[in-house]
Amino acid sequence: MFTLSYNEALRIQTEHVAHYRHLLGRKGVEVVREKTVPCPANINPDEPIDVLVINRLVPRGGAIETIVRRLRC
């Protein structure tokens, strides 16, 4: 099982948004923010948990690339 903390996922997301900023534009950044779910109360944001849970909470990588593709169509 792959694990990642919520806070680490947010750090990665920040890097990815910066990398794709020229393609995302303001609208894309807003979409990423809207799709980012606040850390649930039952999850310690610094404790690594199953990445499948994190993927539902914090879009990164391919999820951001999908947002770019949808905006450009």
Predicted structure pTM score: 0.94
> pLDDT (tens digit, 9 = 90+) per residue, 30-69?
999 999 999 999 999 999 999 999 999 999 999 999 999 9
Sequence spans of domains, the chain: 3-72
Cβ partners under 8 Å of residue 3, min gap 6: 48, 49, 50, 51
Could you give the maximum distance between any two Cα atoms of the chain, in Å?
38
Q: Please name the amino acid found at residue 65.
A: E
Distance in angstroms (rounded) separating the CA atoms of residues 55 and 21: 20
